[in-house]
Structure 1
Amino acid sequence: MTAPEYGRGFALMREAAGEAWGDYTRHAFVEGLKDGTLPREAFLHYLRQDYVFLVHFSRAWALAVVKSETYEEMLSAVGTVNSLISEEMKLHVGICEAAGIPQDELFATPERPENLAYTRFVLEAGYSGDLLDLLAALAPCVMGYGEIGARLAKEKTSEVYADWIATYSGEVAQGDCAAVGQLLESALIHRLGEDYANSPRFATLCDKFRKATELEVSFWQMGLTR
């Protein structure tokens, strides 16, 4: 299927990521979600780690407010923080509680090295750089899950993980992807100009995007190996 349209800046970074993007969005873990063959224990292990990830991811998006230079950038970052906390984390809590894992236990999940590496990479991108550095590290997760959700909604052959797929293919998640794509595009133009793709810095941002994508691959693999 054709990938969803999340903006020119994202499309260019996605292309520059090369094979890493396919390794991420079509990982065996993802295909197991599609056909229902992913073991439930692997899924719950992933959800617990992903909940911890989202705690740090929300903090990184809060940092995007600090790094913003316009009101529109601040508003977009705040909207994403709200969506992460009120929608995505809520999904994890609901599924885990149904499996007998209460929220306080979920929040206290020990962080795996793969999780630690990814979340600290994202936060460091924000601490040491500007909004563009942070967005390049954040974008693979946001838009990657949106792309995965949209594809799996069309291709799924099982209802085992229908709730997860519906969340990331749904109107709210897809709207978030479009909003982040628009934020990335406007931030690139604001800081690098209309011809940002030919800016020497754009290659550096693409490299950061690719590294974050590779960390997503490791995160899926962690879910399988537990």
Structure 2
Amino acid sequence: MSDFTPAWEQGVFAALKSENRADWEAYVDHEFVRRLGDGTLPEACFRHYLVQDYLFLIHFSRAYALAVYKSDNLDDMRKAAATMEALLNEEMQLHLRYCEQWGLNEADMARVDEASENLAYTRFVLDAGLSGDLLDLLTALAPCVAGYGEIGLRLGARSSEDLSGNPYRDWIETYAGDGYQSVVEASLQQLDQVATVRAGDDIRQSGRWKSLSKTFGAATRLEVGFWNMGMSPNSTG
């Protein structure tokens, strides 16, 4: 996957990804992702991941609510609120549709204990926002938003015939689709705009670069940990 560059890959995100290339490749080319793409991922693994990801999205939505609070202008507030709305009313619906197949409803999933990998990731992101500013928070959020967009495009590049028998086709097409891709593009444009205001035109030359890159790398490694968790289903979920 190292030669794949989405059309929206530019600016601050591109710089952060380049600086953390090895961690990024471990994330977007994980065994969990590859097996989603070819349809060989065991259902138990996907079910465990999906329930945990549903819980993850609750906290991720809270992080975007925090981004609204951390914003210092209406434009940034509206952008963060739009992403939160997409998470709450679109992405989480995908999870509910899948889980209904297994007799699980929203209340059932809300009662599941969060896996340690889930706790580590979501609290890291929230802490980045609480202890830092909007730029710190958007940087911590970027690996999830952009990574799923890149993974969706990669897996969605298969022909419709290749995906026709894939039990995870709905998941792939959601993240490859125009709706989610527009969320990614808008989120990364906001990251660029906020970085320019708070760190200057050249992010790599700013005094904040080292800290931001460290945050991005840590969040990316936590994404790898989330896939690892998905490969090891247990009693949680």
Residue among 103, 107, 129 paired with 2:106 = 103
For structure 1, which segment, 81-90 or 69-78, has the greater mean C-alpha deviation from structure 2 after superposition? 69-78
For structure 1, which segment, 1-10 or 29-38, has the greater mean C-alpha deviation from structure 2 after superposition? 1-10
Determine the C-alpha separation between the residues in 2 that align with 1:34 and 1:83: 24
2:30 corresponding residue in structure 1: 27
Q: Once superposed, what is the RMSD of the aligned Cα atoms?
A: 1.1
Per-residue deviation, 1:193: 1.4
Determine the C-alpha separation between the residues in 1 that align with 2:19 and 2:77: 27
Residue among 94, 100, 118 paired with 2:97 = 94
Partner AA of 1:222 in structure 2: M
Deviations 1:195-222 (A, max 9, x none): 2221021121011000000000000000
Residue among 74, 78, 101 paired with 1:75 = 78
Partner AA of 1:167 in structure 2: T
Determine the C-alpha separation between the residues in 1 that align with 2:25 and 2:177: 22
Q: Where does 1:133-212 land on structure 2 (aligned, <5 Å)?
A: 133-155=136-158, 157-158=162-163, 159-212=166-219
Q: Identify unmatched segments of 5+ residues in structure 2.
A: none
1:121 corresponding residue in structure 2: 124
- 3-state SS, counterpart of residue 200 of structure 1: coil
- 3-state SS, counterpart of residue 217 of structure 2: helix
Determine the C-alpha separation between the residues in 1 that align with 2:98 and 2:24: 28
Give the helix-richer structure, 1 or 2.
Answer: 1
Aligned residue pairs, count: 226
Determine the C-alpha separation between the residues in 1 that align with 2:116 and 2:105: 23
Determine the C-alpha separation between the residues in 2 that align with 1:42 and 1:55: 20
Per-residue deviation, 1:65: 0.3
2:52 corresponding residue in structure 1: 49
1:38 aligns with 2:31: no
Deviations 1:151-208 (A, max 9, x none): 0001374422100001000111000000001000000001111122210211210110
Partner AA of 1:109 in structure 2: V
Determine the C-alpha separation between the residues in 2 that align with 1:100 and 1:17: 40
State the TM-score, normalized to the length of structure 2: 0.93
Determine the C-alpha separation between the residues in 1 that align with 2:111 and 2:92: 14
Check whether the contact 1:7–1:185 (CA below 8 A) recurs between aligned residues.
no
1:61 corresponding residue in structure 2: 64
- 3-state SS, counterpart of residue 231 of structure 2: helix
Per-residue deviation, 1:18: 2.1
Q: Identify unmatched segments of 5+ residues in structure 1.
A: none
Percent of pairs identical after alignment? 48
1:2 corresponding residue in structure 2: 4
Determine the C-alpha separation between the residues in 1 that align with 2:147 and 2:170: 17
For structure 1, which segment, 174-183 or 102-111, has the greater mean C-alpha deviation from structure 2 after superposition? 102-111
Determine the C-alpha separation between the residues in 2 that align with 1:67 and 1:202: 20
- 3-state SS, counterpart of residue 208 of structure 2: helix
1:16 corresponding residue in structure 2: 19
Partner AA of 1:2 in structure 2: F
Determine the C-alpha separation between the residues in 2 that align with 1:103 and 1:192: 41
State the TM-score, normalized to the length of structure 1: 0.97
